[in-house]
Amino acid sequence: MRAMVLSALVMLATIPPARADDGPPAWAYPANPDFKPTPDDGQPRHVPGSDTTYFVPQTRDRFLAPDWHPADHPPMPEVVAQGRKPAVYACGFCHRADGPGGPENADLAGLPEAYIVDQMADFKSGRRGTSVAKRPPDLMIALAKAASDEEVKAAAAYFASLRPRATIRVAASETAPKTIVTGPFLADAGNGEREPIAGRIIEVPEDTARFENRDAHVGFVAYVPVGSIARGEQLASGSDGAGCAVCHGAGLQGIGNVPALAGRSPSYLFRQLYDFKHGARDGSVAAPMREIAAKLSTDDMTALVAYAASLPR
């Protein structure tokens, strides 16, 4: 399976080690316009801990949320399980059946219902965008414009009811595995090579094939710069910068309709800070975040999200 994912038939791009302070960092916004998914071999797909079978076309159908582990969650609303053609994709396709998502999008499990509704409204109005086009937020904008209020409320209530799970293991390191761009996320190239981390965060699935098959049980490893977690804690405490706990609560576990940050994808969190700072993300409750992000350097943002990701959920 691993060999298929890394097949020579698939055109893959490497991520440059340099950190760019004058533009969106490539490690946080991975993109490969030449990427082509591994050709379908017609064989059924299975994942550990599940008796379910799917075929490749099903795992790539945006109007189907593969449900490998149905015992993990209550019944999915129709909009989560299959969406509504032609433009309302199944929420569970990208965010997975019980909401953990991946580095390319939000972990929705346990987010406040009102917060999800507000964010969908911001996507719909165009106030929430992305610093780099042709990414998952573009799909969210199109979906939000097509979704009904009832569909948004049903999805928000469902994901808010779910208990979030720890999916990220943070590893401070001077080096990281050499990576490839597999669609909108990074994956370990699988050749054993490592390269200097160079101020980046390298977040990769522990099993790329299972993640591509939409298995919500796949974990991730986030390699972060040595010292970044301690620096992030200092910034988050307010003694030297952001003061995140004032709004996001002790241990960044969230307060009321303010989302928890603990244990979330550092790649995703970095993009939110970068988008706030550079004006791509706005909205009804965005003003405090935009003010804080405006004062942060790329290194500050990297440290903050490394710290947040390292916290228990």
Assigned token pair, 162: 């779910």
CATH 1.10.760.10 residue spans of the chain: 35-160, 168-310
The amino acid that residue 311 corresponds to is: L
Angle at 27 between CA 26 and CA 31, to 5 degrees: 55
pLDDT digits (tens, 9 = 90+) for 234-280: 999 986 657 899 999 999 999 999 999 999 999 999 999 999 999 99
Helix (H, G, I), strand (E, B) or coil at 205: strand
Kindly indicate whether the domain formed by 35-160 is annotated with CATH number 1.10.760.10. yes
Residue 238 pLDDT: 80
Q: In what order do the strands lie in the sheet with 202-205?
A: 168-172, 220-224, 202-205
**Alpha carbon 35 to its chain's center:** 19
The label of the residue with tokens 């993009």 reads 271
Helix (H, G, I), strand (E, B) or coil at 95: helix
What b/e sequence results for 154-188 when a residue is b if at least 16 CB atoms lie within 10 Å of its CB, and e otherwise? Answer: bbbebbbebebbebbebebbeebbbbbbbbbbbbb
Cα diameter, the chain: 57
**Alpha carbon 309 to its chain's center:** 12
Residues 6 or more apart in contact with residue 96 via CB below 8 angstroms:
65, 102, 214, 215, 216
Residue 239 pLDDT: 64
pLDDT digits (tens, 9 = 90+) for 193-244: 999 999 999 999 999 999 999 999 999 999 999 999 999 999 999 866 578 9
- The terminus-to-terminus CA distance of the chain in angstroms comes to 31
β-strands 220-224, 168-172: how paired?
Answer: parallel
Other CB atoms closer than 10 Å to residue 36's CB: what's the count?
12
Return d(Cα 293, Cα 296) in angstroms, integer.
5
Residue 243 pLDDT: 85
Sign for the CA dihedral angle at 301, 306, 307, 308 comes to positive
Return d(Cα 80, Cα 291) in angstroms, integer.
34
Sign for the CA dihedral angle at 125, 126, 128, 133 comes to positive
Helix (H, G, I), strand (E, B) or coil at 275: helix
Global confidence as pTM = 0.91
The domain 168-310 is placed in CATH, from the list 1.20.1050.10, 1.10.760.10, 3.60.15.10, 2.60.40.1730, at 1.10.760.10
Residue 206 is given by DSSP the state S
Q: Say how many residues make up the chain.
A: 313
Return d(Cα 245, Cα 249) in angstroms, integer.
4
**Alpha carbon 116 to its chain's center:** 15
How many alpha carbons lie under 13 Å from residue 29 in its C-beta half-sphere? Answer: 18
**Alpha carbon 185 to its chain's center:** 9
pLDDT per position in the chain (313 positions), as tens? 333 333 333 333 333 333 445 689 999 999 888 888 999 999 999 999 999 999 999 999 999 999 999 999 999 999 999 999 999 999 999 999 999 999 999 999 999 999 999 999 999 999 999 999 878 899 999 999 999 999 999 999 999 999 999 999 999 999 999 999 998 999 999 999 999 999 999 999 999 999 999 999 999 999 999 999 999 999 999 866 578 999 999 999 999 999 999 999 999 999 999 999 999 999 878 999 999 999 999 999 999 999 999 999 9
Facing residues of 187 across strands? 180
Residue 14 pLDDT: 36
